[in-house]
Every structure is written in C-alpha cells, then in structure tokens.
C-alpha cells in the first residue's frame, strides 16, 4: 500500500463502512457487512467468547490489521465476557494510513468507547500498555514484521488471517508465511480466515495444521461459496469436508503459493505457481468444476 493514499468510506449491508483499495482493486471487507465479517469469520470461529470465560490471558495476532475491525470485535467480546482478561495483541499492517483514516472518518463509532480509545492510541503510537492490554501495531511487510516483532513461542490463542485475496496479495498466502504463523499458534490455538481457496487450504496443511471448513458443506456455486477456513495444530471439530471440497484439494487449484526467501514480489510468486501448475499431473480444476458446478442450485442439488 502506498503511504498517503486517501480512502473513501463505502457502506456495507450491515450499516458499517469499509474502504476500497485502488492498489489491490478490492474492498477491505465483504459488502455483506464489514462489522459482521469481523465477528462471524474471525472472533467467533476462534471461540474467543468461550475462551474469555475461563481464561485470565489471551493472545491474538491480527494479520492485516487494516481498519482495526477484527481487533475491535475481539476486544469487545472478550471484555464483555471477562472485563479482567488480559489481552496481548500483535497487529500487522503495511499502511499506517488505513487505521488512522478509519478513526478520522469516525468508522469505529459502533464499538465501545474504551475500544475506540485504544484503537486510536494504537494507530497513533503503535504501542499500547494498559492494565488489561498489551498491544503492538507493527507497520511494514508482514512477512518481515511477523518474524522480527512476534516471538515464535508466543502461543497465540487466535490468529486472524485477513489479507487481500490470494491472486492480488499472494505474499501472505504462501506455505512459508503460513508455516511461520502456525509456529506461533498455541497447541489448541485457531487460525481463522475468510478464504476457502484450495491453494490456501493445501498451504495450511503443508504448514502442519489441521483444517475445518466454516462453510455449510453445500456444493459450490458462483452465488454460494464456503464462508472460510479454520486451522489448528490439533484436529478441529467438525473436521469433515464435503466431497467436493476434498476433491478440490486434489486438483491443480490446490498447488500452493511459494515464497522460499520471504521476499519475492507478487508477480514472481504468481509466476512460480503457474509454472508448477503447468507441470503438475493433478486433475485440471476445469474438470472438477464440470463435475460439481451446474447452471443453477436446483439442477446441482438434483445431481447429488
């Protein structure tokens, strides 16, 4: 992201706002609801309300901190359940202008005043120390800041993996980066991401993590996609994938993104994956689509 970029707030379906990135050609959040996405795809899948009820300390890594919504949702629900739970937070963000403009535009007003105050301090000073919070906002390429700022033995209870999509930002979906994230999870910790791409899921598996789908295990359709992916060092209940999801992981679409040195630009990472796909003997993804996709959900359902 280029420093100094000015973002225009865009209204989403739940009444919250997001930004659009001209650089990546994507919005920061789903148009179905930016605030809802933070809660439904990150906070609740990582079981933070349940953990807060029985724990005095929780550790979170927020990859691609952005406007701060995922962190705001996490702090809100944790302290609603247990006001005395201490949170250690590491936020990784490439452009400090994003959280600062979100605050300047008043986009955090839907969160509790304490949370707004904390996120404002974090955006300005990048370090916040309070009675029940130790927070760091690391600005720069997350591939480097993860290694230099976040201790490997941090034992994170939750990791929010929320970059732009893999075709637009492959740097943060590579096997190597996912492995570094997995190294920082507690044995029972959870990594949550909105992404259900086969390349990302196979990358998480290669990183040594067990997977579960956030979707409803319905067959794929352009108007109905899985909600996301969970990953953990230990098996996740429920861990069963639908047949179409399992088969997707056996196609060329599942060839992961690779970045051996952690410094390659997007174009190099994408070209490397295309070359590996062209040489692979795995089933073409187009054949998988013909098997599972049909013009409309009713036709597809009758074929199962």
DSSP string, the chain: --TT-----EE-TTS-EE-EETTTTEESS-TT-HHHHHIIIIITTTTHHHHHHH-SEEEEEEES-TTSHHHHHHHHHHHHH-TT-EEEEEEEES-THHHHHHHHTTTTTTS-HHHHHHHHHHHHHSEEEETTEEEEEEES-HHHHHHHHS-TT--EEEEEE--S-TTT-GGGSBHHHHHHHHHTEEEEEEEEES---HHHHHHHHHTT-EEEE-S--PPPBTTB----EEEESS--SS-PPPHHHHHHTTBGGGPPB--TTS---HHHHHHHHHHHHHH--SBPHHHHHHHH--SSHHHHHHT-
Give per-residue pLDDT as tens, 207-261.
Answer: 999 999 886 444 444 344 557 999 999 998 776 777 888 899 999 999 999 999 9
Chain segment 165-219, per-residue pLDDT in tens: 999 999 999 999 999 999 999 999 999 999 999 999 999 999 999 999 886 444 4
More confident residue, 293 or 186: 186
Q: Comparing 9-18, 157-166, 186-195, which segment has the lowest mean pLDDT? A: 9-18
| pLDDT (0 to 100) of residue 102 | 94
**What's the pLDDT at 215?**
60
pLDDT at 4: 52
* Residue 38 clears pLDDT 60, i.e. is over it: yes
Q: Model-level pTM?
A: 0.91
Q: Is the pLDDT of residue 297 over 60?
A: no
Domains of the chain (ranges plus CATH)?
22-302 (3.40.50.150)
Q: How confident is the model at residue 294 (pLDDT cuts 50, 70, 90)?
A: low
Q: What is the pLDDT of residue 239?
A: 66
């Amino acid at each position: 992201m280029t420093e100094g970029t000015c973002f225009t707030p865009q209204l989403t379906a739940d009444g919250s706002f997001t930004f659009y990135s001209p650089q990546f050609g994507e919005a920061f959040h789903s148009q179905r609801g930016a605030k809802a996405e933070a809660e439904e795809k990150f906070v609740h899948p990582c079981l933070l309300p349940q953990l807060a009820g029985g724990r005095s300390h929780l550790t979170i890594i927020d990859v691609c901190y952005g406007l701060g919504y995922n962190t705001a949702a996490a702090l809100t629900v944790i302290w609603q359940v247990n006001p005395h739970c201490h949170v250690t937070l590491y936020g990784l963000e490439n452009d400090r202008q994003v959280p600062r403009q979100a605050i300047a535009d008043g986009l955090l007003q839907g969160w509790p005043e304490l949370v707004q105050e904390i996120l404002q301090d974090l955006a300005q000073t990048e370090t916040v120390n309070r009675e029940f919070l130790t927070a760091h906002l690391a600005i720069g390429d997350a591939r480097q800041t993860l290694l230099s700022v976040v201790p490997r033995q941090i034992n994170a209870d939750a990791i929010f993996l929320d970059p732009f999509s893999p075709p637009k930002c492959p740097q943060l979906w590579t096997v190597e980066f996912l492995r570094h994230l997995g190294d920082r999870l507690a044995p029972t910790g959870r990594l949550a991401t909105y992404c259900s791409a086969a390349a990302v899921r196979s990358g998480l598996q290669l990183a040594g993590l067990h997977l579960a789908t956030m979707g409803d295990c319905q067959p794929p359709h352009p108007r109905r996609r899985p909600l996301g992916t969970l990953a953990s060092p230990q098996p996740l209940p429920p861990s069963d994938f639908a047949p179409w999801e399992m088969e997707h992981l056996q196609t060329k679409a599942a060839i992961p993104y690779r970045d051996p040195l952690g410094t390659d630009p997007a174009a190099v990472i994408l070209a490397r994956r295309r070359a590996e796909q062209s040489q692979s003997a795995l089933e073409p993804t187009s054949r998988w689509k013909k098997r599972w996709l049909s013009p409309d959900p009713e036709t597809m359902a009758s074929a199962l």
